[in-house]
Amino acid sequence: MDRMLVVVFDNELKAYEGKKTLLLLDDNGSINLYAYAVLVKNADGTATVKQGDDSGPVGTLVGTSLGSLIGLLGGPVGLAIGATAGALTGAVADLSNARIGADFIDDVTKVLTPNKVALVAEIEEDLIAPVDLRMEAIGGTVFRRALADVEDTIHDEKVAAMKADLAQMKAELAKAHADFKAKLQEKINHLETKIHAKLQKGKERREAAEHQAKAKVEALKAKAAALKAHA
């Protein structure tokens, strides 16, 4: 099952040890590690990605579920982009892209307090014990959540409702008095802009999901080929 994993540590040294542990678990086949980053919660409430470019076989963090989750964990004060985290610039931080619930963010942020460090990763695992036992042994607090499928139904329903409103406004425009036409046309223009933005966002979300899915398949193929070559 594909999951988002967050392990909170007291310091960076332990977080990097946790990252090495994930890589070892990936090497021995216990999990498939798709992307990861180390995130430090600063004393002022901001968050800095200390290690974000080395993001695994899925590639850069831009537009990915992991990138969005990291943005959310940055908190309302904002995300401070570190020198090694240029790949995160422009990432959209919302629950829709992160594909997890708001309650998960709440659970993590209660523990990810200032000066603590999180190892954030997107993984596939059949059993939770391999990760949990090793992370707890080095002082990590583990949070995980299965990734939700990319849902288009609610998005499509919202766009359909907005289009219905737009059609009604345009029908009314033809009959409106002159002193109201300008205001109504302004509302129509605003709604058309919002519809276009939602359609574009939906397209980008689907394309990002397709890209991640293909990247994961290629990563698994590469791993299988490597194991066969060493057999």
pLDDT tens digits, 155-180: 666 678 778 888 888 888 888 887 78
Q: Please indicate, yes or no, whether residues 157 and 95 belong to a single structural domain of this protein.
A: no
| Per-residue model confidence (pLDDT) at position 84 | 37
Residue 90 tokens, joined: 């422009």
Per-residue model confidence as pLDDT tens digits over 14-55: 999 999 999 999 989 899 888 888 999 988 888 888 765 454
Q: Please indicate, yes or no, whether residues 78 and 188 belong to a single structural domain of this protein.
A: no
Q: Please indicate, yes or no, whether residues 96 and 21 belong to a single structural domain of this protein.
A: yes
Percent over 90 (pLDDT), the chain: 23
Per-residue model confidence as pLDDT tens digits over 193-206: 988 887 887 777 77
Per-residue model confidence as pLDDT tens digits over 113-154: 999 999 999 888 888 899 999 999 999 999 988 876 545 545
| Per-residue model confidence (pLDDT) at position 111 | 94
107-110: long-range contacts, CB 8 A cutoff, minimum separation 24: 107/143, 108/6, 108/8, 108/73, 108/143, 109/73, 109/75
Candidates 64, 78, 82; CA nearest to 210 is 64
Task: Name the domain boundary from 80, 113, 146.
Answer: 146
Q: Please indicate, yes or no, whether residues 177 and 83 belong to a single structural domain of this protein.
A: no
Q: Please indicate, yes or no, whether residues 135 and 184 belong to a single structural domain of this protein.
A: no
Q: Please indicate, yes or no, whether residues 136 and 86 belong to a single structural domain of this protein.
A: yes
Q: Please indicate, yes or no, whether residues 123 and 161 belong to a single structural domain of this protein.
A: no
Task: Name the domain boundary from 104, 124, 146.
Answer: 146
Average pLDDT over residues 196-221: 75
Residues 68 and 120: their CA atoms lie apart, in Å, by 11
| Per-residue model confidence (pLDDT) at position 140 | 96
Q: Please indicate, yes or no, whether residues 30 and 48 belong to a single structural domain of this protein.
A: yes
For 28, residues 6+ apart whose C-beta sits below 8 A from its C-beta are none
| Per-residue model confidence (pLDDT) at position 68 | 79
Residue 167 tokens, joined: 């059609």
Residue 97 pLDDT greater than 80, yes or no: no
CB atoms under 10 Å from CB of 3, counted, come to 18
Q: Please indicate, yes or no, whether residues 65 and 117 belong to a single structural domain of this protein.
A: yes
Q: Please indicate, yes or no, whether residues 114 and 215 belong to a single structural domain of this protein.
A: no
Number of domains making up the chain:
2
Residues 147 and 165: their CA atoms lie apart, in Å, by 33
Where is pLDDT greater, at 227 or 68?
68
Angle between helices 153-175 and 178-230 (to 10 degrees): 160
Residue 1 pLDDT greater than 60, yes or no: yes
| Per-residue model confidence (pLDDT) at position 101 | 72
| Per-residue model confidence (pLDDT) at position 95 | 62
Domain of residue 77, residue span: 2-146
Task: Name the domain boundary from 146, 180, 215.
Answer: 146
Q: Please indicate, yes or no, whether residues 142 and 179 belong to a single structural domain of this protein.
A: no
Q: Please indicate, yes or no, whether residues 141 and 179 belong to a single structural domain of this protein.
A: no
